[in-house]
């Protein structure tokens, strides 16, 4: 079957969203481009699908190759719009995204619900000769597409099919609204500190960032007549963006101010037009109805069809095992904070807004260092050099920045090429490192930009987005990273490596495409472990003023602190994950007189945590992972993947992390299995390929200090 020609009217040459090769031109995309580009692409797609349905052959070239081309159309026209909505959000872009999103959702469902395409996929599986001629990756792609079609309602007819499509369209819009509400609520809040006494004890980085934030906010609001803030004398502006909010909770001595900020953070998106409360119930109700239409009892059962975990029971068992190890340690953690607070003169009962403050004081007391002592040793350019050097050591790749790349969407974004040991260009990535709370959503993420595929006989290399919300440069200082930000960068780069080091030439199984959702965190969590390897960590440090590396005593303290409050950390992850699974498996959102989703979350928190829930808290209203991301009935994936990633890293520990020959050998083996095979092989099979056995929880419990 011939590939379609591109749209030939004038907008093809003027609209960057109608390109079909090269890098997306993010720098030239305007909201006005979206509607004409998407409209033209959907018209092209409509003709293409009709042609495919009438002439599809149950072969790779006759069916799967054309379907891969359809994915490329979305990759160039629609996915850049969603990316820009995350990193350069504007009212104009939101409006046109909202206008076109239902049409894009409907087009995607038309493909998945196409009976002729589904029948042709089944015919491939039913023909023993054809099936045997397919590679493992090709078979996985066919299996995935058959399952996707079933989960998209291909087997539904009449009113059920119509209702399913309505639900999918509505859920897509709700997810976008939910995310926008969280972004707007986050950027709407500010706490202005004017009394120097209230800034007593703040680290210099927080003072500088808060003063800079105050000045920038006044400039953007065109406020005149106010003196510029200074780090020494203020005023200081605290926001709910984590580079501001996190250090503020850790270091602000004024308990009332901590409470104000904490309350604002856990009640984001709960008021007025930004209130996500009803969107949560709508989402849960529609997901349940969608699952029922497809014959599943719950949305969780439906969701686990495409994951590694064999069922909800397996997830429950993992949580039960971890709970037994973590809950007593978390209770001990809280007792330690209560004791320190009382010894230090706090007469009030320990509250949620006290935890970060006293945890930081206890860490300073036990390990005799602060985050502020570490930051000067982690200027971002040096950290990047260290990260790239580690990747060269392990995987034989080199990373080079491409200066003056014209397609970036912001001046802080950098573009890089990745080369293999033979000097061959194999992938590229964008790095958007800093927080921009006025336009960029919070958190950190990796997304696919362009998948690896073969087009007209030419190999198209993968390109990924790596987005963080790190501390931006302040004044003439470079970005000085907290250790947590260093770990986050390593984490996201682990995702990026799996996207870039793929050797699968089919876009539907290359990189993270086709990888079971509860396996996608393995590569990211694996990379975090190297942040505690002395040659790696110290080698990427350089004091931004003196040029000195991180002193041995600070490194030793950092490693000693690795186990600090790990029980509390596991309980926190379990609270998120069990709440997610409870809401999607054991909760009927349509029943009368049942607890609300907020109450369900607080019930889980009450059961797991030694500290009673904050009754005014509404964390779910900003829980974008499960209501606006891909983690619905899948948040357990973080801990599920961490079991495997810890076991993978244990292989390096067993040969000795400083045994250069063995580390290089294992690094290449890891590259050629977990990184390169992507969705072309089941992740458990890939794990066995690397480890030679089934996974064990021993390494995870040891790494978290939860095993005696």
Could you give the residue numbers annotated as active site?
Answer: 492
Phi and psi, residue 454, nearest 5°:
-110, 125
Q: Please give the C-alpha separations between residue 562 and each of 80, 103, 487, 567, in angstroms, as whole numbers.
A: 38, 48, 12, 12
Measured CA to CA, the distance from residue 303 to residue 557 in angstroms comes to: 42
Tokens of 616: 């005014």
Spatial CA neighbour of 152 closest among 114, 109, 120, 121: 109
Q: Please give the C-alpha separations between residue 185 and each of 178, 239, 477, in angstroms, as whole numbers.
A: 11, 11, 30
Tokens of 152: 């998209």
Pairing of strands 425-434, 463-470: parallel
Which H/E stretch holds residue 417?
A: strand 414-419
Q: How far is CA 75 from the centre of its chain?
A: 19
Question: Dmax over Cα atoms in the chain, in whole Å?
Answer: 79
Measured CA to CA, the distance from residue 67 to residue 57 in angstroms comes to: 12
With both helix axes pointing from N to C terminus, report the angle between 312-343 and 637-655 in degrees, rounded to the nearest 10.
Answer: 80
Tokens of 30: 């305007």
Tokens of 162: 């119509």
Measured CA to CA, the distance from residue 641 to residue 653 in angstroms comes to: 18
Spatial CA neighbour of 302 closest among 313, 291, 315: 291
Measured CA to CA, the distance from residue 375 to residue 237 in angstroms comes to: 21
Which H/E stretch holds residue 368?
A: none
Phi and psi, residue 399, nearest 5°:
-120, 130
Taking the CB of residue 213, how many other CB atoms lie within 10 A of it? Answer: 23
Tell me how long the chain is.
708
Tokens of 674: 């977990």
With both helix axes pointing from N to C terminus, report the angle between 597-608 and 277-293 in degrees, rounded to the nearest 10.
Answer: 90
Contact 416, 405 (CB under 8 A): no
Q: What are the residues whose beta carbons fall under 8 Å from the beta carbon of 675, sequence distance 6 or more? A: 395, 497, 498, 501, 502, 523
Taking the CB of residue 586, how many other CB atoms lie within 10 A of it? Answer: 12
Contact 564, 366 (CB under 8 A): yes
Measured CA to CA, the distance from residue 708 to residue 696 in angstroms comes to: 16
Pairing of strands 236-238, 191-193: antiparallel
Spatial CA neighbour of 381 closest among 437, 431, 441: 431
Q: Cis ω on the peptide bond leading into residue 235 (within 30° of 0)?
A: yes
What is the residue whose two structure tokens read 């990535």?
429
Measured CA to CA, the distance from residue 475 to residue 544 in angstroms comes to: 14
Alpha helices by DSSP H, listed for 31-127, are 31-55, 65-77, 79-87, 91-112, 115-126
Measured CA to CA, the distance from residue 140 to residue 504 in angstroms comes to: 12
Contact 505, 532 (CB under 8 A): no
Taking the CB of residue 690, how many other CB atoms lie within 10 A of it? Answer: 18
Taking the CB of residue 633, how many other CB atoms lie within 10 A of it? Answer: 26
């Amino acid at each position: 079957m011939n590939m379609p020609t591109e749209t030939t009217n004038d907008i093809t040459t003027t609209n960057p969203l109608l390109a079909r090769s090269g890098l997306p031109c993010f720098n030239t995309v305007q909201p006005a481009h979206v509607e004409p580009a998407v409209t033209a692409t959907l018209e092209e797609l409509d003709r293409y699908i009709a042609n495919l349905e009438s002439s599809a052959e149950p072969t790779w070239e006759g069916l799967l190759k054309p379907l891969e081309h359809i994915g490329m159309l979305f990759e160039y026209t629609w996915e850049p719009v969603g990316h820009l909505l995350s990193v350069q959000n504007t009212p104009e872009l939101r409006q046109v995204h909202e206008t076109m999103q239902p049409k894009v959702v409907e087009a995607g469902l038309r493909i998945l619900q196409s009976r002729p395409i589904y029948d042709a996929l089944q015919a491939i599986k039913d023909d023993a000769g054809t099936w045997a001629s397919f590679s493992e990756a090709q078979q996985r792609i066919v299996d995935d597409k058959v399952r996707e079609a079933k989960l998209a309602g291909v087997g539904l007819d009449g009113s059920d099919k119509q209702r399913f499509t309505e639900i999918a369209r509505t859920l897509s819009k709700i997810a976008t609204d939910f995310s926008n509400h969280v972004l707007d609520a986050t950027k709407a809040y500010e706490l202005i500190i004017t009394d120097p006494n209230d800034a007593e004890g703040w680290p210099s980085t927080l003072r500088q960032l808060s003063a800079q934030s105050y000045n920038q906010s006044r400039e953007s609001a065109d406020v005149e007549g106010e003196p510029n803030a200074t780090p020494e004398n203020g005023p200081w502006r605290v926001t709910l963006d984590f580079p501001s909010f996190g250090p503020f909770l850790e270091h602000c001595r004024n308990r009332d101010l901590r409470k104000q900020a904490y309350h604002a953070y856990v009640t984001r998106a709960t008021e007025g037009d930004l209130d996500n409360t009803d969107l949560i119930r709508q989402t849960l109700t529609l997901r349940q109805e969608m699952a029922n239409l497809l014959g599943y009892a719950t949305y969780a059962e439906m969701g686990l069809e495409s994951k590694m975990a064999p069922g909800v029971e397996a997830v429950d068992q993992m949580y039960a095992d971890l709970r037994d190890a973590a809950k007593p340690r978390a209770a001990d953690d809280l007792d330690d904070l209560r004791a320190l607070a009382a010894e230090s003169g706090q007469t009030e009962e320990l509250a949620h807004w006290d935890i970060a403050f006293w945890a930081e004081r206890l860490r300073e007391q036990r390990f005799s260092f602060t985050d502020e002592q570490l930051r000067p040793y982690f200027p971002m350019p040096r950290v990047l050099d260290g990260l790239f050097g580690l990747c060269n050591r392990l995987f034989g790749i080199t990373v080079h920045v491409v200066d003056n790349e014209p397609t970036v969407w912001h001046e802080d974004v950098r573009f890089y090429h990745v080369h293999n040991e033979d000097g061959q260009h194999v992938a590229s990535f964008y790095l958007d490192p800093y927080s921009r709370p006025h336009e960029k959503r919070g958190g950190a993420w990796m997304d696919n930009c362009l998948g690896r595929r073969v087009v007209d006989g030419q190999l198209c290399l993968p390109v990924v987005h790596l987005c963080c919300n790190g501390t931006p440069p302040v004044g003439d200082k470079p970005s000085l990273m907290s250790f947590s930000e260093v770990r986050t960068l390593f984490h996201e780069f682990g995702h990026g490596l799996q996207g870039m080091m793929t050797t699968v030439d089919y876009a539907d199984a290359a990189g993270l495409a086709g990888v079971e959702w509860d396996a996608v965190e393995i590569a990211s969590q694996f990379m975090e472990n190297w942040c505690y390897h002395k040659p790696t960590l110290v080698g990427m440090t350089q004091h931004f003023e003196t040029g000195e590396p991180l002193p041995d005593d600070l490194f030793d303290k950092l490693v000693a602190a690795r186990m600090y409050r790990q029980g509390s950390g596991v309980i926190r992850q379990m609270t998120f994950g069990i709440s997610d699974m409870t809401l999607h498996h054991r909760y009927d959102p349509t029943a009368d007189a049942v607890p609300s989703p907020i109450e369900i979350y607080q019930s889980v928190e009450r059961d797991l945590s030694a500290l009673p829930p904050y009754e005014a808290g509404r964390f779910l209203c900003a829980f974008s992972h499960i209501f606006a991301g891909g983690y619905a009935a899948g948040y357990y994936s973080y801990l599920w993947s961490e079991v495997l990633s810890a076991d993978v890293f244990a292989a390096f520990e067993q040969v000795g992390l400083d045994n250069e020959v063995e580390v290089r050998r294992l690094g290449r083996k890891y590259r050629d299995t977990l990184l390169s095979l992507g969705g072309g092989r089941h992740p458990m099979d890939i794990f066995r390929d690397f480890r030679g056995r089934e996974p064990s929880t021993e390494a995870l419990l040891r790494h978290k200090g939860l095993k005696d």
